[in-house]
Structure 1
Amino acid sequence: MQMRRLYKAQSGICAGCGKRIVLGQQGDPRKAASFDHVIPRSEGGRRVATNGLLKHAACNEARGNRPANGCDLIWHLVVSLRLTRRGRRSARSGANGTGGKGCDLFPSGSSNPSPLVLSAPVGMKQNGRKPVWPAGGDVADRQVSVFAAK
C-alpha cells in the first residue's frame, strides 16, 4: 500500500535518477521500485510513506546508509505535500460527496502547477559547522523554486 501511494505521488519516477520505475515484480528487476528510507533505519527511521521515497534498487543501494542529500530532501517535501493533498481531497469528497476543491498547489481549474519556493541546501557541502553552498554564503541566503507536477 505504501509503495503504491509513493508511486502515484512520484508519478512513477525514481527519486534517485529521474527515470521510470516499475512497481511490483514485472519487467527488468533493475528498474523495480525499492523503498528508500529518508531517515535511515539505523537512525530510527520507520518504513512508512512519510519517511520514504521510491528509487531503483541500484539508486537506493548507491546512497547506502548515508544521510539524505538535498535532492532527496526536496523530493521528500514534494512527495509529502502530494500525499497530504491526496488525503485531504479524498476525505473531502468522501465526507460530503461534492468532490474536492483542489489544494493550494493546484488551484481549481488550473493545469499549471504552482511553484513551491523553498529555502533548501541543494547541492550543499558541509564545512563542519553549518551547511554552505558550493559558491559560498549561508543556506538561508538562497531560495530554490520547485514545481510540483500533478
Structure 2
Amino acid sequence: MEALAALRVLYADNLVCHICGLEIVDHRKTPHCCDKPKRLHWLTADHITPRSQGGTDAISNLRPAHHACNSARGARPLPVVKPEDSTNFFI
C-alpha cells in the first residue's frame, strides 16, 4: 500500500501509534509475520476523517496506528483532547 510507505518515511524516526502512543512494530523486519499477537501491533494507516464520513486517502488525512487500535476505533471520531487548564498552577 502506497500510504504505508509514505507513513514509514514521514515517521521513520518516531513510528508510534497516534491512538495509544506506543511503538509500532515494522512487520517487514519481524520474522514469523503471521503470528497473531505481532500482527495486532503492525503498522496500519488510520484515517483521521474516516472514508465512510468523506475522508480521503491523502497523506494529510492519515496517521500511523497499530492494527488493533485502528480496528477498535473503527469509524468513530478521535476523542477531543482539551488543553490542560494551568490557571491554578501557582495557587
TM-score category, normalised to shorter length:
0.5 to 0.7
Shift of 1:5: 3.1
Q: Which runs of 5+ in 1 are unaligned?
A: 71-121, 124-142, 145-150
TM-score by length of 1: 0.43
Q: Quote how far apart the aligned CAs of 1:68 are.
A: 2.1
Deviation track 1:28-83 (CA, whole Å, cap 9, x = no partner) reads 2222110100010011211122001111000001111111222xxxxxxxxxxxxx
The separation in 2 between residues aligned to 1:24 and 1:57, in whole angstroms, is 11
Q: In the aligned structure 2, how far is the partner of 1:15 from the partner of 1:42? A: 20
Tell me which residue corresponds to 2:28. Answer: 25
Indicate the residue corresponding to 2:16 in structure 1: 13
Query: In structure 1, what is the Cα distance between the partners aligned to 2:69 and 2:53?
Result: 20
- Greater RCO (Cα-Cα under 8 Å, separation 6 or more): 2
TM superposition outliers: structure 1 runs of 4+ over 4 Å:
none
> TM-score normalized by structure 2?
0.66
> Identity rate of aligned residues, in percent?
36
More helix by share: 1
Conserved 8 A contact 1:34-1:57: yes
Give yes or no for the alignment of 1:69 onto 2:79: yes
Let me know the Cα RMSD of the aligned residues: 2.3
Structure 1 residues 48 and 24 mapped into 2: Cα distance closer, same or farther (>3 Å)?
Answer: farther
The answer to whether the 8 Å contact 2:8/2:15 transfers is no
> Where does the alignment leave 5 or more consecutive residues of structure 2 unmatched?
31-37, 85-91
Aligned-pair CA distance for 1:3: 2.1
